[in-house]
Amino acid sequence: MTGPDRRRPVIALWNVAKDYAAGENVVHALRRVSLVVEPGDFVAIMGASGSGKSTLMNVIGCLDVPTSGYYWLDGVDVRTLDEAALAVVRSRKIGFVFQAFNLIPRTTALANVELPLVYAGVHRAERRDRAMAALAAVGLAGRELHLPSALSGGQQQRVAIARALVTNPALLLADEPTGNLDSSSQADVMALFSQVSQLGRTIVLITHEHDVAQYAKRIVRVRDGEIVEDVRVVPVGQPPPRHLPGYDPTVAVRVPPTGAVTAT
């Protein structure tokens, strides 16, 4: 298996609707949503509570299927897939980052990052190498054997980002990833997303915080289940707005526990 195909959209939603039955009534959580996300884009999805962000995230993440419309994820028509096939697509194509980190307690950072590779059937030595490299890439070299409880919130979220990226997914999908963090850890984690974007990864990040959306190349606003605004801040092929000046991806990059990102 190679990495994501650079020629086709990672996400193509066309006229997607999602209805929920609520007693006698129907809630139109999403109405006619169309959205194309190209490889290398960094999209922030914003909207007030109840606007449909989580529903959209669940559809994009193949955690839920649309009531109508079309969805291709990295070229796969997800409408045709049953529950088991959706689970496989999810684990192969998407790296998830959640607000609550969702690390396994009493399990080292390294074992947490190795876990998706266990599910993918990667053998032990390669698993270890890839998980070590992923932790180094998020600035946690030397902390591989720490338990989540021994790490700060920002560091735990960095472990979760390493876990999301270790499978080399087509899409990094984050739901309020800084919602549980103080402002300095928020800046630290967003600097890491910026760096990940600069390496060419495709990111969709759901947030209601303006400060967080400032890191994205494109800002999509949702209201009452519809996309009401779609603003391109930076072209897909360029670095995100808050990037390392003169950054060279061939040079190792370290993210210190707090503060600015520095190249080493």
Nearer to Mg ion, 34 or 58 (CB): 58
In the bound state with Mg ion, the residue whose beta carbon lies nearer, of 53 and 217, is: 53
Instruction: Count residues binding ligand ADP (CB under 6 A).
Output: 12
The type of residue at 63 is: L
How many binding residues for Mg ion (CB under 5 A)? 2
- Shorter beta-carbon distance to ligand ADP: residue 30 or 187: 30
- For ligand ADP, which is the closer residue by CB, 63 or 147? 63
| Residue 226 CB, nearest approach to ligand ADP (Å) | 11
- Name which of 52 and 148 has its Cβ closer to ligand ADP: 52
Q: Please, which of residues 34-93 interact with ligand ADP by CB under 6 A?
A: 47, 49-55
Cβ-based neighbours of 48, under 8 Å, separated by 6 or more: 208, 223
Amino acid identity, residue 170? A
Helical segments of the chain, H only: 53-60, 83-93, 109-119, 124-137, 153-165, 183-198, 210-213
Q: Residue 93 — φ and ψ, nearest 5°? A: -110, -15
When binding is defined by CB under 6 A, the residue of 16, 29, 60, 140 that contacts ligand ADP is 29
- To the nearest whole angstrom, how small is the minimum distance from the Cβ of residue 100 to ligand ADP? 15
State yes or no: residue 27 binds ligand ADP (CB under 6 A). Answer: yes
33 vs 110, beta carbon nearer ligand ADP: 33
Structure tokens at 170: 């087509």
Which CA distances in Å does 167 have to 151, 162, 212, 235? 23, 9, 25, 26
3: contact with ligand ADP by CB under 6 A: no
| C-beta separation of 167 from 4 below 8 A | no
Distance CA 50, CA 261 (A): 35
Picked from ligand ADP, Mg ion, none, the partner binding residue 20 (CB below 5 to 8 A depending on kind) is ligand ADP
Span 37-76, contacts to Mg ion by CB under 5 A: 53-54
Task: Give Dmax over CA atoms of the chain in angstroms.
Answer: 60
Nearest-approach distance from CB 59 to ligand ADP, in angstroms:
10
d(CA 147, CA 156): 9
Look at residue 52 and give the partner it binds from ligand ADP, Mg ion, none, a contact being a CB closer than 5 to 8 Å depending on partner kind. Answer: ligand ADP
Q: Can you say whether residue 176 is alpha, beta or left, with left for phi > 0 and alpha for psi between -120 and 50 degrees?
A: left
* Residue ranges in 125-164 that form contacts with ligand ADP under rule CB under 6 A: none
Kindly list the residues in this chain that would bind Mg ion in the complex (CB under 5 A): 53-54
Kindly list the residues in this chain that would bind ligand ADP in the complex (CB under 6 A): 20, 22, 27, 29, 47, 49-55
